[in-house]
Structure 1
Amino acid sequence: MWVVPPTDGRVRKLRVSHRKVLLVGGVALLIASGFLYVAGDYSRIQLVRLKDALFLKQVTAERDALKNDKASLQTTISSLEERNIKVREYEENIRTRVDELQGILHSASALGVVPPKELGTEENQDEVGGAEIDCTGGDCFSPSSSLLGRIVPDTKTVDPNLFETLDRTIDLVRSAPLGSPVNGHISSPFGMRRSPFSGRWRKHQGLDFSMPYGSQVQSTGEGVIKSVRRTKTYGLVIDVLHTNNVMTRYAHLSKAMVKKGEKICRGEAVGLVGSSGSSTGPHLHYEVHVDGKQIDPLLLVNLAQKLGDAF
C-alpha cells in the first residue's frame, strides 16, 4: 500500500498484511452492523412509542367518552328519579282526592237511607202537607237536565287538569244536597197529587217523609242557613243555601236547631220533625231549589245511593 504523508509530500510504501486488512474490514463491518442495528432498534422504539401514544390517545378519548356517557346517564337517572317522585306524588294526590270523594259519596248515600221499596211514585195516605201549585192552566214548570247539571258535575266537559277537576268535584259533591234528610218513607212524592186540603189536583213541590214527631232532620249538604222563619203554609221552615245557587228547604218542623247565617255540614241536625203549618200530621216536607225553581228531590236521593254503590 502506498501512502503520501501531507507533511513532506514524499511517497512511502506501507506494508499491510492480508490478515490486518481482513481484521480492519471485519471491525469496520462490525461497527457498521452495530450502527445499523442501533439505528433500526431506535426506529422500532420510536414506532412503538408512536403506537403507544396513538393507543393512549384513543384510550383517553374512549375514557372521556365513557365519562361523558356516565355523566349523561347519571343525569338521565336523576331526571327519571325526579320524575318517578313526581309521579308518586301525583298518584298520592289523586288517591287522596279520590278517597276523600269516596268518603263524601258514602256519607251521602248513607245519610237518611230510604228503603228502596218506598222510593216509588205511589202516594201513601200518611201525614202530608207542603207547598202546592195549581197546574190546571198548564203552566207547571218541568225541571230540565240542565238544572240537575248545576248540582252534579258533567264529566264530558270537565277541565283537563285532573287536580282542579277533582277539587271542584269534591267541593261540589260536598255541598250538593245528596241523600235523604231523614230515615223515613215517602208519604207524598214530588209532582201531581190530589190535595189533602181541597181535594183538587195540585202539583206538590217537594217530598213528604212520614216521621214520628220530634225526629231529627239532617242537612243533605254543606251550606249556610239562609233563613229560619214561620209561614202559614210551611209552618216552621228552614232554608239552607248551597253552592251554585242551590237551596234546600225543610218544612213543618217542631223545632229549629240552627240560626240564620250559621254554617252547617252534611248530616248535621237542622231541626226536629213536627206538624206546623198546612199539615195533616207529623212529617217532613223537603224541597230542592235550583235557580229558584223546585226539582224532584228524589233524583238526588237516588243519585246519592247510585254514587255510593259505584264507589
Structure 2
Amino acid sequence: MLFSKDNKKKHNYKYENKSKSSLFDKDTVLFVSKKTGKTHIFRIPSFIPLLIILLTSTLITISATMTVIYINMKRDALELEHIRDESLGLKSEVEALHSKMRNIQSTVNQVTYYSEKIRKVTTRTDDRKGGASRKTSEQNQNQDFNQNGIGPLTKEEFEISNKVTGLKYESLELKSLFDLAQESQLKSSKQLEELKKFLVEAQKAALKLQSIPDIAPVRGRLTSSFGWRISPFGGPGRIHFGVDIAARIGTPIYATANGTVLRVNRSEDYGKFVELIHEKKMVTRYAHTSAIYVKEGAKVKKGDVIGAVGNTGHSTGSHVHYEIEMNGKKQDPENFIVLW
C-alpha cells in the first residue's frame, strides 16, 4: 500500500501517539538520573496505591486503638494505685485505732485497779482478829500495766507517722472515731490521775485512822458507861472514868489503835492491866484482865490481841474496863468507838 509523503507523516504521528498512550496506560513513574541523564521508567500496577492506602488506614486504625487501650490501661492503673493507697491508709488508721483502744483499755484497767484499792482503803473493816498473837502481812498487790502504747495516737504522733505512712490527722477517714477515742483517753487518763491522788490522801487518812482508838477492845456487852454512877461495892457514888464491856473469861482483848505498850502492871483496883500510848500522847487502858500477852516497849497495831478478859481487881464479874486518856484528861470511850 502506497502512501503519499504527507499521508506517511500522518500515519507515523498516529503511531507515535498510540505508542505514547499505551506507554502510560498504567501508573508510570519516570526517574531521570542526574549523573547519567538517563530516564528510567517504572510501571506500578494499579492495585499498589490502593493497597498502600489500605495498609496506611489499617496502621492508623491499629495505632489509634492501641493508644486508646493504653490510655484506658493507664487510667485503670492509676485508679488501682489510688485504691491501694487508700486501702493502705485505712489499714494504717485501723492499726493506729486498735493501738489507741489498747491504751484506753490499759488505762481503764488501771482505773479499776486504783478504784478497788480506794474501796479497800476507805471501807471500814473490823481489824480485830482471833488468836493470841495477830500477825499482819499485807501483800503488795501492785500490778504492772502496759502504759507504752504503740502506734500514732495523738495529733502530734500522727504528724510523725505521716513521714512513714502518709497519714495526716486532718485527712483521716476515721477521724471521728479517733476524736472519740482521744476524748475517752483524755477522760480516763484524767480520772486515773485523780484516783491516784485520792488514793494517796485516802491512804494517809487510813494511816491516821489506825492511830485513832475507834474500835471496842473486846466483843461483848456494854454494862457500864462513862460518868457518874453508884459504886457496885456500896458506899457513895463516884465517877466511872471508862466503860465496862462484859465477856467470858479468856475472850481476846484487842489494841484499839496503833501504839506502843507503855505499862504492864497490877493494882488493887484495876487488877492486871495494860496501858498503850498512841499518837499525840493518847493513852488507852485495859483492866481486870486474866492474861496479858505483850511486854512494855512492844509495838502493837490496831486489832492485835494484847490480853484476855478476866475478873481481877475490884470486879463483880468477867469484863474489861476500858479507858481513854488525852493529855492527862479522861475521855468518854463511847465518843470514839464506832465499831463494837
Instruction: Give the SS at the match of 1:247.
Output: strand
Separation in 1, partners of 2:299, 2:243: 24
Correspondence list, 1:105-116, <5 A: 105=126, 107=128
Shift of 1:189: 1.9
TM-score computed with the length of structure 1 as normaliser: 0.60
Structure 1 residues 203, 40: CA separation in 2 closer, same or farther (over 3 Å shift)? Answer: same
Report the 3-state secondary structure (helix = DSSP H, G, I; strand = E; otherwise coil) of the residue aligned with 1:304: coil
Cα offsets for 1:142-177 (capped at 9, x unmatched): xxxxxxxxxxxxxxxxx9734334434554555543
Correspondence list, 1:1-311, <5 A: 1=24, 3=30, 5-7=32-34, 9=37, 20-21=45-46, 23-94=47-118, 97=120, 101=123, 104-105=125-126, 107=128, 161-174=197-210, 176-177=212-213, 178-181=215-218, 183-186=220-223, 188-193=224-229, 199=236, 203-209=239-245, 216=251, 218-221=253-256, 222-230=258-266, 234=270, 236-243=272-279, 245-253=281-289, 256-264=292-300, 266=303, 268-276=305-313, 279=314, 281=316, 284-301=320-337, 303-305=338-340
SS at match of 1:238: strand
Change (3 A) 1:244 1:27: farther
Matched letter for residue 27 of structure 1 = L
Q: Give, in whole Å, the separation in 1 of the partners of 2:115 and 2:107.
A: 12
State the SS of the aligned residue for 2:260.
strand
Q: CA RMSD in A?
A: 4.0
Structure 2 residue matching 1:90: 3-state secondary structure: helix
How far is 1:30 from its partner?
A: 0.3
Q: Percent identity?
A: 22
TM-score (norm 2): 0.56
Contact 2:216–2:339 (8 Å) recurs in 1: yes
Q: CA deviation at 1:58?
A: 0.8
Q: Deviations over 1:97-142 (max 9, x none)?
A: 26x955x32748xxxxxxxxxxxxxxxxxxxxxxxxxxxxxxxxxx
Q: Structure 1: how far apart are the matches of 2:85 and 2:247?
A: 89
In structure 1, C-alpha distance between the alignment counterparts of 2:104 and 2:289, rounded to whole Å: 62
Alpha-carbon offset, residue 287 of structure 1 = 0.7
**Structure of greater relative contact order (alpha carbons < 8 Å, 6+ residues apart):** 1
Distance 1:15 1:215 in 2: 144
2:126 aligned partner, one-letter code: L
1:270 alignment partner, SS class: strand
The 1:160/1:289 distance shift into structure 2, 3 A limit, reads farther
DSSP 3-state at the match of 2:75? helix
SS in structure 1 of the partner of residue 33 of structure 2: coil
Shift of 1:239: 0.7
Q: Deviations over 1:5-45 (max 9, x none)?
A: 23555779x7979xx44x23311220220221122123213
The total of aligned residue pairs comes to 242
Q: Distance in 2 between matches of 1:172 and 1:236?
A: 29
